[in-house]
Amino acid sequence: MGHPFPVREIARQAGLSEATVDRVLNGRGGVRESTAQEVHRAIADLDRQRTQVRLVGRTFMIDIVMQAPERFTTAVRAALEAELPSLHPAVLRSRFHFRERGPVGELVGILDRIARRGSQGVILKAPDVPEVAAAVDRLVAVGISVVTLVTDLPASGRLAYVGIDNRAAGATAAYLLGQWLGDRPGHVLTTVSRGFFRGEEEREMGFRAAIRAQHPVRRLVEVTDSDGLDVTQYDLVLAALRDDPGIKAVYSIGGGNVATLDAFDALKRSCEVFIAHDLDHDNAWLLRAGRLSAVLHHDLRQDMRRACRVIMRGQGALPADTAPALPSPIQVVTPYNMPPELVVSGNA
């Protein structure tokens, strides 16, 4: 394949040996298909980042490790790559490790491989379980700065958390839902991808506390363990709706909103209020179509810029920041105040 990158540069990006990369590039065989795909992905990543690579300055290699649906990881990748030029004169190179689901042991294996081969920093979205916290501590022990994104690992040695105040976000959702549903009867469906993501747990706690204070008789029905994926969400929501004909509203904490609405449609049921999180391509489309009431959004580009600067600071490239770390602002987005780039592009 034609590309302008030296073998050494591709090998570093892919985390493979130069000999392995050379075998793939010259089609000499003896390499697993999955390894060859890693080489091709590394070249594609370098191609997207080549404008930044030409910038003069110190180079940082960062790894972005996330367990999340594809719609969210796609938004994260785009946000990071859009922010790279703004970090001049530093040069940040990124490697992506995305998965939608899987055992915790595989995620720990990814983090341990990064610790062995080296990195300046890791931006991490992962379950808050002891095995992951221990893996983060091993990264920190070898000098790798770790920043958690949107969901935290407070018992680990991570350098900082970047994202919204999830309890406040849940309480905001309860306030909006209460205002729009008013005194009308109706139960509320809350959907969570997995119980071991601290961010989702905090959103649910904030939501439940605010609902109890404002509307103590309102019944909440929970659906969980869908991983936020439409393929699993649909059956779970369909079963909940069949079991409870009183469900009239939804607070989506973990995603899978297309499937949730498909389940309502399949039973010819109306959803009177639907509050969701994040303006990914699914939610932007649903919001424009009037299927969502509001989306609680935070600026991912701002979050990624801040996470990168925290890593640079952790590596001694920037002076220490004495100001207290503040959560990202929560934006309440309706069809009438969508960010201009989404209105103009019309991307679904």
pLDDT per position in the chain (348 positions), as tens?
Answer: 566 788 998 999 889 999 999 989 988 888 889 999 999 999 888 877 765 544 456 789 999 999 999 999 999 999 999 998 888 778 888 999 999 999 999 999 999 999 999 999 999 999 999 999 999 999 999 999 999 999 999 999 999 999 999 999 999 999 999 999 999 999 999 999 988 899 999 999 999 999 999 999 999 999 999 999 999 999 999 999 999 999 999 999 999 999 999 999 999 999 999 999 999 999 999 999 999 999 999 999 999 999 999 999 898 887 778 778 899 999 999 999 998 766 443 333
Selection from 159, 168, 162, 160 nearest residue 150 by Cα: 162
Measured CA angle at 254 (ends 71, 106), to 5 deg: 70
Backbone φ/ψ region at 192: left (φ over 0), alpha (ψ -120 to 50), beta: beta
Strands 187-191, 247-252: pairing is: parallel
Selection from 274, 193, 284, 270 nearest residue 230 by Cα: 193
Selection from 188, 205, 258, 200 nearest residue 225 by Cα: 200
- How far apart are the C-alpha atoms of 61 and 100, rounded to whole Å? 23
- How far apart are the C-alpha atoms of 347 and 281, rounded to whole Å? 7
Enter the pTM of the model.
0.83
Q: Give residues with Cβ within 8 angstroms of 229, minimum separation 6.
A: 69, 100, 101, 256
- CB contact at 8 A, 63 and 121: yes
